[in-house]
């Protein structure tokens, strides 16, 4: 009657009746203007907020849909003066929550409130270096001290704290000290990494931020070394560490002529559209916060369950996995295509204006064609 | 639990019927989740604090052709699992 592991089956090709997780951009306001921010400077998105009542009605619908977790993000969620009421709305509708934050506005009474709900999976704070000089270079003066103070307040109330390090040219040479600071000085259980990508505000600062192949190689080597020193404590879904782990497997498989990987040779790089969707600050339902232009409906006007099951946008994204990489000119002659998943559709879109295409960011061949070497990949 | 116990569902638990043959019971207070099939869903829906596990097992055997009449042991062990994870309590003084 029960089967504890089978819950994962919905991550495959089957569409479940309602999403399990919903990412909510609860505000378009932010007290910082980070140079690599994905959120701002998207010409296809209007930036304005909804009143509390709209969100509370929507959370009732999410409760009826059996959604398990809401991730509150922005902008900066703690900019909302009514965030306690927002969180209470989530809790009262039998859901858990997480918050993605820059950490700078979390005072002790807010941390105490979050702890009391007993429903918080984590508050994730962005920390991009071991000191103010490095962190503030991308996130603005004073932001390091304020973020670390907020993070310590969360820790003092035993709230699970996640940290995300976004790697750019400003901090790529300081990953060892950053890891030591987070894992040893702050005592975090683990931290996640990714890298600045060509999206949002980052597009205006690409030369100053994005890693070239040599720096990408440096980041991969440092992160694999650090991950070996702190087993299970350095994580990545994207960025240099994820690339290193994926690309090494692809190189080895190609080297010995291994057969096609189960998820290889097709655009299988994102399975989130089978479990998760998102809502913009203005109430528009979208597939993912990084695909903010793909409008699917509006909260409290369109039924979430109907959008989830009938949206042509989601149908298109869910059918990506039937598209062969060999259909793309650049991939056709690629030695690695039987092992490649095409990576993130959102990063494909920001660089090629096509969602149903492989992302240049996760492309091993492009890395090698632009000066990277196989021996650079640890 | 015993067959004469009448399980009471924890009101905070969410039943997610994800497809025709798959559901998840989720306790947002603890993050515990139990995946289950339509028989488990029926047991969950029957449990209202008045019906005993013996009655629930009989109902389940009637409604599902693939559940034999003597399946009360399996119903019991599923109920035990749910009780252990805080999904079920037991009604005080229930007669079944
Ligand atoms: S060219 Fe790049 S995206 Fe295409 S199959 Fe090869 S590694 Fe993958
Ligand atoms: S589109 Fe990209 S960022 Fe969005 S869920 Fe998929 S892989 Fe992740």
DSSP A251-276: HHHHHTTPPPPTT-SBS-S--GGGTE
pLDDT of residue A1: 64
pLDDT of residue A6: 35
pLDDT (tens digit, 0 to 9) for every residue of chain A, 378 residues total? 655 433 333 335 689 999 999 999 999 999 999 999 999 999 999 999 999 999 999 999 999 999 999 999 999 999 999 999 999 999 999 999 999 999 999 999 999 999 999 999 999 999 999 999 999 999 999 999 999 999 999 999 999 999 999 999 999 999 999 999 999 999 999 999 999 999 999 999 999 999 999 999 999 999 999 999 999 999 999 999 999 999 999 999 999 999 999 999 999 999 999 999 999 999 999 999 999 999 999 999 999 999 999 999 999 999 999 999 999 999 999 999 999 999 999 999 999 999 999 999 999 999 999 999 999 999
Say if the Cβ atoms of A119 and B35 lie within 8 Å.
Answer: no
**CA B72 to the chain's CA centroid:** 12
For B2, residues 6+ apart whose C-beta sits below 8 A from its C-beta are B53, B76
Query: Hey, is the C-beta of B20 within 8 angstroms of any chain A C-beta?
Result: no
| Beta strands A161-167 and A120-126, pairing class | parallel
Q: Is A197 in the pocket of ligand 2 (CB under 6 A)?
A: no
pLDDT of residue A345: 97
Residue given tokens 């059918």 in the structure block: A319
What is the C-alpha R_g of chain A? 21
pLDDT of residue B48: 95
* DSSP letters spanning B29-77: TT--EEEE-HHHHHHHHH-SSSS-HHHHHHHHHHH-TTS-TTTHHHHHH
Q: Is A363 in the pocket of ligand 1 (CB under 6 A)?
A: yes
Atom number in ligand 1 closest to CA A328: 4
User: Is the separation of the CB atoms in A307 and A301 below 8 Å?
Assistant: no
pLDDT of residue B92: 65
Say if the Cβ atoms of B16 and A5 lie within 8 Å.
Answer: no
- Sheet of B14-19: strand order equals B14-19, B22-26, B33-36
Say if the Cβ atoms of B19 and A10 lie within 8 Å.
Answer: yes
Say if the Cβ atoms of B16 and A95 lie within 8 Å.
Answer: no
CA A318-A321-A324 angle, 5° bins = 145
pLDDT of residue B93: 54
Name the token pair of B61: 């055997």
pLDDT of residue B68: 78
Return d(Cα B19, Cα A74) in angstroms, integer: 32
Q: What mean pLDDT is predicted for residues B71-83?
A: 91
Q: How many CB atoms within 10 Å of residue B14?
A: 19
Q: Which ligand lies nearest to the CA atom of residue A342 in the structure? A: 1
Mutate which of A268, A270, A317, A356 for ligand 2 pocket (most atoms within 8 A of beta carbon)? A270
Say if the Cβ atoms of A95 and B43 lie within 8 Å.
Answer: no
3 state DSSP class of A116: helix
Return d(Cα A179, Cα A190) in angstroms, integer: 9
Residue given tokens 């798959």 in the structure block: B22
Distance from CA of B87 to the nearest CA of A (A): 13
ipTM: 0.92
Q: In terms of C-beta density within 10 A (0-12 exposed, 13-18 middle, 19 or more buried), how is residue B95 classed?
A: exposed
Residue B81 reports pLDDT greater than 90? yes
Query: How far, in Å, is the centroid of ligand 2 from the Cα of A34?
Result: 21
Q: Provide, for chain A, the percentages of residues in helix, strand and coil under a 3-state DSSP scheme, each rounded to the nearest 5.
A: 45, 15, 40
Q: Is A344 in the pocket of ligand 2 (CB under 6 A)?
A: yes
pLDDT of residue B71: 77
Name the token pair of A371: 């000066």
Return d(Cα B25, Cα A371) in angstroms, integer: 51
Name the token pair of A335: 């030695």
3 state DSSP class of A16: coil
pLDDT band at B90; cut points 50, 70, 90: confident
Q: Is A365 in the pocket of ligand 1 (CB under 6 A)?
A: yes
- Domains belonging to chain B, first-starting first, are 7-87 (3.90.930.60)
pLDDT of residue A2: 59
Query: Hey, is the C-beta of A18 within 8 angstroms of any chain B C-beta?
Result: yes
Nearest to A1 among B14, B15, B74 (CB): B74
């Amino acid at each position: 009657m029960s089967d504890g592991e089978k819950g994962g089956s919905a991550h495959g090709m089957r569409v479940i009746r309602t999403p399990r997780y919903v990412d909510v951009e609860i505000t378009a306001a932010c007290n910082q203007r980070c140079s690599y921010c994905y959120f701002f400077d998207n010409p296809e998105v209007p930036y304005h907020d909804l009143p509390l009542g709209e969100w509370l009605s929507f959370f009732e619908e999410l409760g009826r849909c059996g959604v398990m977790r809401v991730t509150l993000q922005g902008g900066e969620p703690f900019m909302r003066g009514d965030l306690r009421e927002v969180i209470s709305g989530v809790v009262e509708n039998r859901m858990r929550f997480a918050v993605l934050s820059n950490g700078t506005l979390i005072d002790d009474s807010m941390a105490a409130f979050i702890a009391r709900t007993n429903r918080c999976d984590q508050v994730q704070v962005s920390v991009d270096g071991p000191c103010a000089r490095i962190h503030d270079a991308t996130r603005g003066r004073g932001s390091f001290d304020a973020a670390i103070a907020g993070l310590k307040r969360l820790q003092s109330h035993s709230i699970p704290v996640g940290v995300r390090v976004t790697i750019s040219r400003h901090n790529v040479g300081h990953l060892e000290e950053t890891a030591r600071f987070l894992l040893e000085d702050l005592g975090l259980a683990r931290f996640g990494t990714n890298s600045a990508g060509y999206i949002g505000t980052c597009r205006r600062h690409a030369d100053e931020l994005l890693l070239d192949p040599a720096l990408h190689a440096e980041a991969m080597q440092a992160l694999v070394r650090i991950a070996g020193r702190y087993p299970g404590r350095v994580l990545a879904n994207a960025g240099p560490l994820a690339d290193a782990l994926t690309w090494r497997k692809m190189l080895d498989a190609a080297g010995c002529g291994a057969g096609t990987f189960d998820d290889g040779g097709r655009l299988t790089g994102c399975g989130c559209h089978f479990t998760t969707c998102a809502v913009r600050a203005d109430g528009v339902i979208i597939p993912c916060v990084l695909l903010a232009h793909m409008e699917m409906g509006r909260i409290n006007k369109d039924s979430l369950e109907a959008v989830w099951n009938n949206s042509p946008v989601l149908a298109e994204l869910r059918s990506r996995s039937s598209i062969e990489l060999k259909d793309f000119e650049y991939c056709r002659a690629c030695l690695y295509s039987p092992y490649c998943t095409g990576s993130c559709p959102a990063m494909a879109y920001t660089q090629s204006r096509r969602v149903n295409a492989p992302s240049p960011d996760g492309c091993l061949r492009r890395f090698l064609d632009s000066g990277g070497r196989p021996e650079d990949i640890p | 639990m015993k067959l004469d116990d009448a399980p009471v569902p924890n009101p905070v638990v969410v039943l997610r019927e994800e497809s025709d043959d798959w559901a998840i019971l989720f306790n947002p207070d603890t993050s515990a989740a139990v995946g289950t099939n339509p028989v488990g869903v029926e047991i969950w829906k029957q449990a209202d604090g008045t019906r005993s596990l013996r009655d629930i097992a009989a109902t389940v055997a009637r409604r599902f052709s693939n559940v034999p009449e003597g399946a009360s042991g399996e119903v019991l062990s599923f109920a035990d699992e749910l009780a252990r994870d805080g999904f079920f309590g037991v009604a005080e003084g229930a007669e079944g």
